[in-house]
Chains A and B, each alone.
Chain A
């Protein structure tokens, strides 16, 4: 059979059966369906159990036998997420689940729906000082442009991936690859990205990044200058000068304010690069994946000859990177040339301390999306009232039970840490667009006041009866309980 679908048929690629699904029908599994030409996952529906910390029945039983007791929960201890809840289309129909439950004496309503987000993307924070690529350069997956490099943040490099222009504004395969990349990142899978004129990285939410094949272990404790400030006292008397090599600001103990205050003697050291203030140098080398995010592998290349007026034979010099991962110890010979020696015991502790003060390097993935007017119409007849209620913190927004940060300003544009959502919470439609769960929780009275679809509210008990399509998971330990009244939208 040729691989072309008639216009009202979608081909499902969730499993190798590759069903052609006609509009309004489900595939062989009854879990994926063609809703108005879009492939939608309709199963399973995830419920969160407050009593349980995060544990997932998806872990093979061989490793975690009896992990999940699957008891039936009641009342406030169960939160109905939007994962697998499905979506309604067109959106003026009420959202698939509008659930009421009484929590601490207050009637709460949760409106859950799986939103289809064409306007969405992920923000990646990659904990590394290594230079990943120039700002604004393209980030590619499978050769397709899926995003770009944005700013460097403290100890981290930021990438912005996805967005409507990559999803639907480019070629068909750009859109498809972007969608796949976003979906994988949101579902916690590893993705390989290459940056134009830059590095190749392998990243997964909550895992250490791998830059050019090398796993990042630690974030730097501070820039080179800050590191001098922090450790000057520990070095004083044990070494004559210290250079902390950093792509941003390289620090030199003998010139730095911290050294001066301690009375460190001038050493005649001379550094390549642009001096900012005493003991602080910009641009000692090119950015790269060597020492302290520079491109150097031999630290001596950033030193100019010692000034004979100040330097002396046997002068002791420590050179160390901002993470303590690289270090070298030198003593000057009679011609005042540095000769590498073994690191003395007395200095090992300080190098170790730099290293231990560097936190584990991670990649964090924030999903960012905007709840469009039509999605909001599934909640209320007057979509702007929902926006207003969210802004006034009467309505809490969660994604699969995880707290969402709501951007100030118009609309409901939110960000959520995907590692706090249940596994595989995201889906996609071939538009392409991502399908993400979104839940709005508010008091019954507030829901009625904003023109909610109150006739469609169902008691929690009723929803729980539909056991067949449901799966119960433990709630993530770090997440505030989504049904708790009187708390607004905030990061825990």
Chain B
């Protein structure tokens, strides 16, 4: 039986929580109270139909993207296809690889179209769409483990830079991965692009046919997965440094080429406590650390947007 969408304010009254089926969004806007309230109302109104729209075209969106694929009708579905199209000649990819980022972007746009906001973000389970007015910035806190959150590093996105989307992908995440990266975080022009790129790079961090990697056909776990019979990663045994380097090298090679093609701005790749960061991922740490992934104690990465100067709800 269809459960209705959930729309509510989170504790503190600043952030809005939108939930429908597998979509779970945290939304926050800054601006005049009137603008914020208009933006939230607009986001909520846009949100209630988004899942039904996507599901109406689900079979098409689960098909591999091709250069001249059948165009989906929905605006979010079109954005998903557009985000994965740059990759469709080089690898297997379906529009579903960009679904989270595309939804985040759609909701963000419904807000910025309705009201003049200083800044805003829509966080769809780690895939984040960001709006920054002139002179505005966001400090993004990096969290290793969502279940035991503590910020260990920050990076700052400012209105002067072109980054408006952040996404993370990895085999430990909610979606399947063909690769073995614990987490790949990507900064890109928009959330849809970041989402697709993170998926592609995480898939590339890999050791094909390695006996220490447990792989299962996606359909065996999730019968209607867009990945079909492709083998998805379910477990990775401790790897030697050589193996880790080899897998990360593969990922960095792909990430570098995406960066050269202008598809992403930066990326951080994490595998068994080893981290590679592509240039210009300039980070600051309040604890004086330079790296954004300073030897994480646990490999699972979770990106948490945090307002600078405000209280950390996890503290």
B52 within 8 A of A: yes
Contacts of A19 in B (CB 8 A): 222, 224
Least CB distance from A418 to B in Å reads 16
B22 touches A29 (CB 8 A): yes
B223 touches A58 (CB 8 A): no
Which of B11, B59, B147, B223 neighbours the largest number of chain A CB atoms within 10 Å of its CB?
A: B223
Contact of B1 among A13, A60, A71 (CB under 8 A): A13
> Which residues A177-213 have CB closer than 8 A to chain B?
180, 183
- Report how far A26 CA is from B137 CA in the complex, Å: 37
| Nearest A-chain residue to B99, judged by Cβ | A28
A65 touches B147 (CB 8 A): no
- Report how far A20 CA is from B225 CA in the complex, Å: 9
Contact of A68 among B6, B11, B52, B224 (CB under 8 A): B11
Chain A, interface size: which category? 35 or more
Least CB distance from B123 to A in Å reads 14
| Nearest A-chain residue to B21, judged by Cβ | A15
> Which residues A10-38 have CB closer than 8 A to chain B?
13-22, 25, 27-30
> Which residues A151-185 have CB closer than 8 A to chain B?
180, 183
Least CB distance from B12 to A in Å reads 7
A 58-71 to B, binary, CB cutoff 8 A, 1 in contact else 0: 11111001111111
Contacts of B20 in A (CB 8 A): 15
B235 within 8 A of A: no
A6 within 8 A of B: yes
A468 within 8 A of B: yes
B223 touches A14 (CB 8 A): no
B223 touches A15 (CB 8 A): no
B161 within 8 A of A: no
> Which residues B20-60 have CB closer than 8 A to chain A?
20-22, 24, 37, 40-41, 44, 51-52, 55-56, 58-59
> Which residues B53-83 have CB closer than 8 A to chain A?
55-56, 58-59
Least CB distance from A107 to B in Å reads 28
- Report how far A395 CA is from B220 CA in the complex, Å: 44
Least CB distance from B34 to A in Å reads 13
Contact of B41 among A28, A58, A62 (CB under 8 A): A62
Contacts of B6 in A (CB 8 A): 58
Least CB distance from A64 to B in Å reads 9
Which of B3, B10, B13, B40 neighbours the largest number of chain A CB atoms within 10 Å of its CB?
A: B3
A273 within 8 A of B: no
Contact of B11 among A14, A70, A424 (CB under 8 A): A70
Contacts of B1 in A (CB 8 A): 13-14, 180, 183, 428
A78 within 8 A of B: no
A9 within 8 A of B: yes
A1 within 8 A of B: yes
B174 within 8 A of A: yes
A468 touches B2 (CB 8 A): no
Contacts of A66 in B (CB 8 A): 9, 13
Contacts of B147 in A (CB 8 A): 466, 468
Contacts of A70 in B (CB 8 A): 10-12
B84 within 8 A of A: no
A28 touches B22 (CB 8 A): yes
Contacts of B7 in A (CB 8 A): 60-61
Least CB distance from B1 to A in Å reads 6
> Which residues A305-342 have CB closer than 8 A to chain B?
none
- Report how far A59 CA is from B6 CA in the complex, Å: 9
| Nearest A-chain residue to B6, judged by Cβ | A58
| Nearest A-chain residue to B58, judged by Cβ | A17
Least CB distance from B315 to A in Å reads 12
B221 within 8 A of A: yes
A57 within 8 A of B: yes
Could you list 16 examples of A-B contacts with CB < 8 Å?
A: A9-B223, A14-B1, A14-B3, A15-B2, A15-B20, A15-B22, A16-B21, A20-B222, A21-B222, A60-B8, A60-B44, A61-B7, A67-B9, A69-B12, A69-B13, A466-B147
* Shortest beta-carbon contacts, A-B, top 7: A70-B11, A15-B21, A16-B55, A20-B223, A28-B22, A29-B22, A57-B8
Known pairs A66-B9, A70-B11; list 12 more (Cβ under 8 Å). Answer: A13-B1, A15-B21, A15-B22, A15-B51, A16-B52, A19-B222, A29-B21, A57-B9, A61-B16, A61-B44, A68-B9, A466-B147
